[in-house]
Amino acid sequence: MKFEPVTIKQMARDLNLGISTVSRALHDSHEISEETKKRVVAYAKKLNYIPNPIALSLREKRNKSIGIVISQFNNPFCSQVVHGMESSFYSQGYQVSIVQTDESAEKEMKAIQYLSFRVDGLLVSISSETKNIDHLKDLYEKGMPIVFYDRICADLQTHMTISDNYRGAYEATRHLLDQGCRRVAFVGGAVTQSIVQERKAGYLQALEDGGINVDPKWIHYLPKGGVHYVETEVAMDRLMRLPKNKRPDGLLTAWDKVTADAYRYLRRHDISMPGELALIGFSNFPLTDFVSPSLSVVQQQSEKLGEVAAGQLLSLLQSKRKPAKFHTEVLMPEIIIRESSSKLSSGEKEPLKVKNKD
């Protein structure tokens, strides 16, 4: 089966008219007789004629659409971000087309190449496997408006919107210390990801400020970024099998999926939270308030992040040339303290919210 759309040429033949006459009729030109105009419009409607946007693209070099490159929407944070982006573009008449990379560098390259000729701008969150972004750089130098969100890439100077990962991790780690934890572990996603590095930096600084000497055994990255449960499982096994005096009593997980899987691991192995291990993690999952024990999280402003990034892209789309200056917008995540990390008063209580300053 193949789609065979109605064309102007076809209609012109059917109506015994010139191609351009038909075109003009459909564009409501004045320089055409009322009669033929009506005849053409009626026929086009009958055949459900739609101008071929591919042909228009070729001519006008404009697609009226933008592309979003996402790692996996099988991640509430990502889907929330996309939702924030879409509303902005929709109101401006842009179509939004989304492509998943599944954390694969190869898929990412293909996805970007695919989108590049079909959209007017790109919102990109780099995959965790990606090392080489020459293809993106090249695209950018040829004039493609590109905005990074969430996971940035310092090699390419353009607008970006990110969370304050450093501070989110810093405050979360500090909270664990305040609760009496002295051996705080860190399980990140992929070592290559900007967000994981920023979060680790915040974690390390909080430990240093708290006068804690970090044991390198407390720090784990996950080879494939933590997409599968087993990765987190291996890291958790290593942590929990440390001799008792080295075993962590607190844990910061630095990626949504890892947080959920660490929680799953602890419940499966009957390791009590926060008694044996206090847990707080980056997560935008729903239902974290109803699991038992309820889960403390560092929650990003996902929708807002999407909106801000969308705004940046729209401004690039409208500007005549590459702007001289680029902005990096930073959003503060919310720290929501719940049972899984509350060692001091471990009974039920209202969750304490560290609200954003802005």
| Continuous segment of H or E residues that includes residue 278 | strand 278-282
Regarding 16 and contact with DNA (CB under 7 A), the answer is yes
**Least Å from the CB of residue 131 to DNA:** 28
Regarding 107 and contact with a second copy (CB under 8 A), the answer is yes
CB 339 within 8 A of CB 288: no
The residues with which 123 forms a beta bridge, in sequence order, are 68, 147
Regarding 86 and contact with a second copy (CB under 8 A), the answer is yes
Regarding 192 and contact with DNA (CB under 7 A), the answer is no
Residues 6+ apart with CB under 8 A from 134: none
Stretch that binds a second copy, among 73-81, 179-187, 202-210, 274-282 (CB under 8 A): 73-81
Six-digit token pair at 76?
């509430």
Residue with tokens 């009322």: 34
Q: Which of 51, 65, 42 is nearest to 7 (CA)?
A: 51
- Single residue of 29, 33, 38, 138 touching a second copy by CB under 8 A: 138
Regarding 98 and contact with a second copy (CB under 8 A), the answer is yes
Instruction: Please identify, using beta-carbon distances, which residue of 143 and 216 lies nearer to a second copy.
Output: 143
Regarding 31 and contact with a second copy (CB under 8 A), the answer is no
Secondary structure, 3-state, 189-243: CCCCCHHHHHHHHHHHHHHHHCCCCCCHHHEECCCCCCCCHHHHHHHHHHHHCCC
CB 126 within 8 A of CB 133: yes
Instruction: Please identify, using beta-carbon distances, which residue of 97 and 205 lies nearer to a second copy.
Output: 97
Site for a second copy in 314-333 (CB under 8 A): 316-317, 319-322
Instruction: Please identify, using beta-carbon distances, which residue of 32 and 99 lies nearer to a second copy.
Output: 99
| Continuous segment of H or E residues that includes residue 97 | strand 95-100
**Least Å from the CB of residue 133 to a second copy:** 13
Contact positions vs a second copy (CB under 8 A): 1-6, 48, 50, 52-55, 57-58, 61-62, 65, 72-74, 76, 79-80, 82-83, 86, 90, 95-100, 102, 107, 110-111, 113-114, 116-118, 120-121, 135, 138-139, 142-145, 260, 263-264, 267, 285-288, 290-292, 316-317, 319-322
